[in-house]
A = this chain, B = another copy of it.
Amino acid sequence: MVRFTNHFSTKTLDPFTLEKGYEALCYEAKGGSVGYYDLPHSSQKLVEELEDVYHTIDRRFNTIAVVGIGGSSLGIKAIERLLRSNTPNAKKIIYLENSDPISIMHEMKEIDKFRTLFIVISKSGGTVETLSIFKRLIVSFELTVKNSEQIYIVSDEESILSRFADENNLRRFVIPSNVGGRFSVLSAVGMVPLTLAGFDTKTILQGGADFLERFWNRKEEHLLQKAAFYVTHRDQYPMNVLFAYSDTFEEFGKWVVQLWGESLGKRNRRGERVGLTPISLIGSVDQHSFLQLIIEGPLNKTVTFMHIESSEKHLMVPELSLKYLEKSDFINGKSFSDLISAQCQATMESVLQSGVSVDEIAWKEINEISVGEMILYYELLTSTSGALLEINTYDQPGVELGKEILLSYFQKG
């Protein structure tokens, strides 16, 4: 379970705005043009199928190599990081994402070709980084593609990558055409690698389904309020900070940044540029970095404080008093978990006192249910905000020009 508290004032919010947001999402979900609302239910069947596959491959493979970038890797990484300590026996996952040669060489060194299952993921099927790295892997590890049982493909039904898979008789999984890359973590994109690595994806889906049901039943009104507040005050607060207290939130923060930034940075119906800028911070580390700017800089940011109520309690600050360092003894005998929780509370209080608009997300604990809930929470928050901004939340037309220019460079050469 996760507890949500909006510390900003919701009094000035127009009730009509909340209704408008809710109705827009109902319309999207019923109309069928936006598919991610169905995933917590529709992916259950896929996961059952994958659990069967898991048993057939379990002894052969100890590593999953995910070849994918952006929406085809961020969500997987987020879930893996959050649930890794809950799932100590899960297989190792290697990510081949960036076109950075140093990273690719580094990851390739980690691969034992006989014990690795390669999963190539691309919604469009044509992602240049993914296909280039895939070719490099085929050559470097002398993989026989035809009929290979160690290469799986995850892509759109109609994509060139799916045709390639069928041509070579590879096992492939479909990303529904109405599910966009950054909303796809609960589709085959996330379910295939995570289930085959041994994560309990079924319960993650259950958490997502639970949250979704409460949202449709108007039991998560804080979400509508937050979206309405963010959109209404977007000129005043163009930046939304997620300040998450645990290193395990690092990849989750990056997933949120993609979801929020790429979905909401758009031209609206009238051609005006709109958008909200996401910023992901980790506590307590970034108290020593970014906090000063939040507290004394321009009041142009909202801040969401995220923390875990019931974390690892066993690691204690010893009852040790060192001469001249007695100043730090106030924390002796407490757990580090208590320290980081108190740091989050103290920082939140000081940020509130400085006049910043704040909300709080308290995870009771990190488990499969709460991870599923939080994925749906951020997806629904993004969709509601996009609807209120009157944009197409699900496309990304701005990145096409760069791809065309890239192509022209190499065609010239």
Residues of A within 8 A of B (CB): 69-71, 74, 85, 97-105, 125-126, 128-129, 131-132, 135-136, 138-139, 145, 160-161, 163-164, 167, 181, 238-239, 245-248, 254, 257-258, 261-262, 264-267, 273-275, 277, 279, 282-285, 287-301, 311-318, 320, 322-325, 327-328, 330-332, 334-337, 339-340, 342-343, 345-347, 349-351, 353-354, 396-399, 401-403, 405-407, 409-411
A246's nearest neighbour on chain B, judged by CB, is B100
**Contact present for B346 and A402 (CB under 8 Å):** yes
Q: Which residues of B contact A248 (CB under 8 A)?
A: 100, 102
Given A266-B297, A298-B274, A411-B330 in contact, is the A128-B164 Cβ separation under 8 Å?
no
Given A164-B325, A297-B277, A322-B135 in contact, is the A246-B288 Cβ separation under 8 Å?
no
**Contact present for B164 and A284 (CB under 8 Å):** no
Q: Which residues of B contact A145 (CB under 8 A)?
A: 322
Shortest Cβ distance from A74 into chain B, in angstroms?
7
Q: Which residues of B contact A334 (CB under 8 A)?
A: 410
Task: Report how far A314 CA is from B284 CA in the complex, Å.
Answer: 40
> Which of B275, B332, B346 is A298 in contact with, Cβ under 8 Å?
B275
Task: Report how far A403 CA is from B339 CA in the complex, Å.
Answer: 12
Identical subunits present:
2
**Contact present for A74 and B289 (CB under 8 Å):** yes
Task: Report how far A347 CA is from B262 CA in the complex, Å.
Answer: 15
Shortest Cβ distance from A212 into chain B, in angstroms?
25
Q: What are 25 inter-chain pairs, A to B, with CB distance below 8 A?
A: A70-B287, A99-B340, A100-B247, A100-B248, A100-B340, A101-B313, A101-B315, A101-B336, A102-B312, A128-B331, A129-B284, A132-B317, A132-B339, A139-B318, A164-B324, A258-B289, A258-B290, A261-B297, A266-B292, A274-B297, A275-B293, A291-B398, A343-B406, A350-B401, A354-B398
Q: Which residues of B contact A409 (CB under 8 A)?
A: 342, 345-346
> Which of B282, B296, B324 is A266 in contact with, Cβ under 8 Å?
B296
**Contact present for A139 and B274 (CB under 8 Å):** no
Given A132-B336, A339-B99 in contact, is the A399-B292 Cβ separation under 8 Å?
yes
> Which of B98, B284, B285, B351 is A247 in contact with, Cβ under 8 Å?
B98
Task: Report how far A262 CA is from B312 CA in the complex, Å.
Answer: 31
Shortest Cβ distance from A330 into chain B, in angstroms?
5
Could you say which of A99, A163, A279, A291 has the most chain B C-beta atoms within 10 Å of its C-beta? A99
**Contact present for A295 and B398 (CB under 8 Å):** yes
**Contact present for A69 and B285 (CB under 8 Å):** yes
Counting from the closest, the 4 A-B pairs by CB-CB distance are A70-B288, A265-B293, A275-B297, A265-B297
**Contact present for A284 and B99 (CB under 8 Å):** yes
Could you say which of A74, A247, A335 has the most chain B C-beta atoms within 10 Å of its C-beta? A247
Beyond contacts A102-B247, A131-B328, A136-B336: 12 other A-B pairs, Cβ-Cβ < 8 A, are: A69-B288, A70-B288, A74-B289, A101-B337, A128-B339, A136-B316, A139-B318, A161-B324, A167-B323, A258-B288, A261-B293, A354-B398
Shortest Cβ distance from A313 into chain B, in angstroms?
8
